[in-house]
Protein backbone atom coordinates (compact mmCIF):
# COMPACT_ATOMS: atom_id res chain seq x y z
CA UNK A 1 0.00 0.00 0.00
CA UNK A 2 2.87 2.24 0.80
CA UNK A 3 4.45 1.72 -2.64
CA UNK A 4 1.25 2.70 -4.47
CA UNK A 5 1.21 6.05 -2.67
CA UNK A 6 4.76 6.74 -3.84
CA UNK A 7 3.83 5.83 -7.41
CA UNK A 8 0.79 8.14 -7.35
CA UNK A 9 2.96 11.00 -6.09
CA UNK A 10 6.07 10.45 -8.23
CA UNK A 11 4.35 9.71 -11.56
CA UNK A 12 2.92 13.24 -12.00
CA UNK A 13 6.26 14.76 -10.96
CA UNK A 14 8.16 12.71 -13.56
CA UNK A 15 5.61 13.53 -16.26
CA UNK A 16 5.84 17.24 -15.39
CA UNK A 17 9.67 17.21 -15.60
CA UNK A 18 9.72 15.38 -18.94
CA UNK A 19 6.97 17.60 -20.29
CA UNK A 20 8.91 20.75 -19.41
CA UNK A 21 12.08 19.33 -20.99
CA UNK A 22 10.27 18.45 -24.23
CA UNK A 23 8.49 21.83 -24.28
CA UNK A 24 11.77 23.71 -23.99
CA UNK A 25 13.36 21.50 -26.63
CA UNK A 26 10.62 22.11 -29.17
CA UNK A 27 10.21 25.80 -28.34
CA UNK A 28 13.83 26.47 -29.28
CA UNK A 29 13.82 24.43 -32.47
CA UNK A 30 10.54 25.68 -33.94
CA UNK A 31 10.87 29.42 -34.47
CA UNK A 32 8.37 31.23 -36.64
CA UNK A 33 10.63 34.21 -37.15
CA UNK A 34 12.61 34.15 -40.33
CA UNK A 35 15.74 36.20 -40.06
CA UNK A 36 16.25 38.24 -43.21
CA UNK A 37 19.47 37.53 -45.01
CA UNK A 38 21.34 40.73 -44.51
CA UNK A 39 23.97 41.76 -46.93
CA UNK A 40 27.11 41.56 -44.87
CA UNK A 41 29.79 43.95 -45.97
CA UNK A 42 33.26 43.67 -44.62
CA UNK A 43 34.74 46.90 -43.48
CA UNK A 44 38.50 46.96 -43.47
CA UNK A 45 39.96 49.20 -40.84
CA UNK A 46 43.59 50.21 -41.23
CA UNK A 47 45.86 48.88 -38.55
CA UNK A 48 47.34 51.56 -36.37
CA UNK A 49 51.05 51.05 -35.88
CA UNK A 50 52.60 52.64 -32.85
CA UNK A 51 56.06 54.07 -33.17
CA UNK A 52 58.72 52.22 -31.26
CA UNK A 53 60.31 53.96 -28.37
CA UNK A 54 64.05 54.17 -28.56
CA UNK A 55 66.17 53.67 -25.48
CA UNK A 56 69.79 53.20 -24.60
CA UNK A 57 71.17 50.71 -22.11
CA UNK A 58 73.53 52.07 -19.52
CA UNK A 59 76.29 49.54 -19.11
CA UNK A 60 78.36 51.61 -16.71
CA UNK A 61 77.23 49.86 -13.55
CA UNK A 62 78.94 47.92 -10.81
CA UNK A 63 79.67 44.28 -11.53
CA UNK A 64 77.70 42.35 -8.88
CA UNK A 65 80.23 39.51 -8.72
CA UNK A 66 83.52 41.38 -8.74
CA UNK A 67 82.32 44.52 -6.97
CA UNK A 68 84.13 46.76 -9.46
CA UNK A 69 82.80 49.24 -11.96
CA UNK A 70 82.46 48.06 -15.51
CA UNK A 71 85.34 49.28 -17.66
CA UNK A 72 85.05 48.78 -21.40
CA UNK A 73 88.11 47.29 -23.07
CA UNK A 74 90.07 49.86 -24.99
CA UNK A 75 91.05 48.88 -28.48
CA UNK A 76 94.79 48.54 -28.80
CA UNK A 77 96.52 50.04 -31.81
CA UNK A 78 98.08 46.71 -32.78
CA UNK A 79 95.88 44.35 -34.66
CA UNK A 80 96.77 40.72 -34.55
CA UNK A 81 96.23 38.57 -37.55
CA UNK A 82 94.70 35.26 -36.85
CA UNK A 83 96.17 32.65 -39.03
CA UNK A 84 93.55 30.50 -40.60
CA UNK A 85 94.57 27.06 -41.56
CA UNK A 86 92.61 25.89 -44.53
CA UNK A 87 91.92 22.29 -43.83
CA UNK A 88 90.81 20.33 -46.78
CA UNK A 89 87.93 18.11 -45.85
CA UNK A 90 88.79 14.48 -46.09
CA UNK A 91 86.92 12.82 -48.89
CA UNK A 92 84.48 10.37 -47.43
CA UNK A 93 85.14 6.85 -48.42
CA UNK A 94 82.22 5.42 -50.27
CA UNK A 95 81.03 2.37 -48.46
CA UNK A 96 80.44 -0.53 -50.80
CA UNK A 97 77.83 -2.84 -49.36
CA UNK A 98 78.02 -6.51 -50.21
CA UNK A 99 75.07 -7.98 -52.07
CA UNK A 100 72.49 -8.87 -49.43
CA UNK A 101 69.10 -10.44 -50.17
CA UNK A 102 66.47 -11.30 -47.56
CA UNK A 103 64.62 -14.50 -48.42
CA UNK A 104 62.40 -14.99 -45.39
CA UNK A 105 62.06 -16.08 -41.79
CA UNK A 106 61.65 -19.42 -40.06
CA UNK A 107 59.99 -19.28 -36.64
CA UNK A 108 58.14 -21.40 -34.13
CA UNK A 109 54.40 -21.11 -33.56
CA UNK A 110 54.63 -18.23 -31.08
CA UNK A 111 57.46 -16.52 -33.00
CA UNK A 112 59.73 -16.55 -29.97
CA UNK A 113 62.70 -17.98 -31.84
CA UNK A 114 63.29 -16.53 -35.29
CA UNK A 115 65.84 -17.61 -37.88
CA UNK A 116 66.33 -15.30 -40.86
CA UNK A 117 67.50 -16.49 -44.27
CA UNK A 118 69.94 -14.05 -45.89
CA UNK A 119 71.96 -14.41 -49.07
CA UNK A 120 75.25 -12.53 -48.61
CA UNK A 121 77.45 -12.40 -51.71
CA UNK A 122 75.69 -15.43 -53.19
CA UNK A 123 75.98 -17.62 -50.05
CA UNK A 124 73.02 -18.63 -47.91
CA UNK A 125 73.27 -17.75 -44.22
CA UNK A 126 70.81 -18.66 -41.46
CA UNK A 127 71.07 -15.91 -38.85
CA UNK A 128 69.45 -15.08 -35.52
CA UNK A 129 69.08 -11.52 -34.26
CA UNK A 130 72.49 -10.40 -33.02
CA UNK A 131 74.53 -12.70 -35.28
CA UNK A 132 77.35 -11.44 -37.51
CA UNK A 133 78.36 -12.93 -40.86
CA UNK A 134 80.94 -11.30 -43.20
CA UNK A 135 80.91 -8.09 -41.07
CA UNK A 136 77.13 -7.86 -41.45
CA UNK A 137 75.30 -7.62 -38.12
CA UNK A 138 71.62 -8.60 -38.03
CA UNK A 139 70.01 -6.01 -35.78
CA UNK A 140 66.27 -6.69 -36.07
CA UNK A 141 63.75 -8.23 -38.39
CA UNK A 142 60.24 -9.43 -39.07
CA UNK A 143 58.39 -11.27 -41.83
CA UNK A 144 58.69 -8.38 -44.30
CA UNK A 145 62.13 -6.86 -43.68
CA UNK A 146 65.38 -6.98 -41.71
CA UNK A 147 67.68 -4.28 -40.36
CA UNK A 148 71.34 -5.01 -40.94
CA UNK A 149 74.41 -3.05 -39.90
CA UNK A 150 77.60 -2.97 -41.95
CA UNK A 151 80.60 -0.97 -40.74
CA UNK A 152 78.41 1.29 -38.59
CA UNK A 153 75.79 1.99 -41.25
CA UNK A 154 72.24 0.71 -40.79
CA UNK A 155 70.24 -0.51 -43.77
CA UNK A 156 66.74 -1.91 -44.24
CA UNK A 157 66.46 -4.92 -46.54
CA UNK A 158 62.97 -5.82 -47.75
CA UNK A 159 61.81 -9.34 -48.53
CA UNK A 160 63.04 -10.32 -52.00
CA UNK A 161 61.72 -12.94 -54.39
Render pLDDT for 7-34 as a digit per residue (tens, 0 to 9): 889 999 999 999 999 998 888 765 556 6
Query: Which stretches in the chain have pLDDT values below 70?
Result: 1, 29-40, 70-85, 161
pLDDT for 108: 85
Fold of domain 100-158: SH3 type barrels. (2.30.30)
| Domain definitions of the chain by residue range | 100-158
Answer for the pair 24, 16: CB distance below 8 angstroms, yes or no.
no
Q: In what order do the strands lie in the sheet with 145-150?
A: 132-133, 136-141, 145-150, 153-158
Distance of CA 2 to the CA centre of its chain: 65
Count of H helices and E strands in the chain?
1, 7
pLDDT for 81: 62
Of 145, 150, 146, whose CA–CA distance to 133 is shortest? 150
pLDDT for 13: 95
Amino acid sequence: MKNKKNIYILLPVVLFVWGSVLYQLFSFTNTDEISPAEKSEFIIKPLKIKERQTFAINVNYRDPFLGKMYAPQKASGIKTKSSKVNKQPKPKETLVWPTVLYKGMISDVKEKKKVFILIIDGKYHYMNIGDTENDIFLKDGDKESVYIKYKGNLNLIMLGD
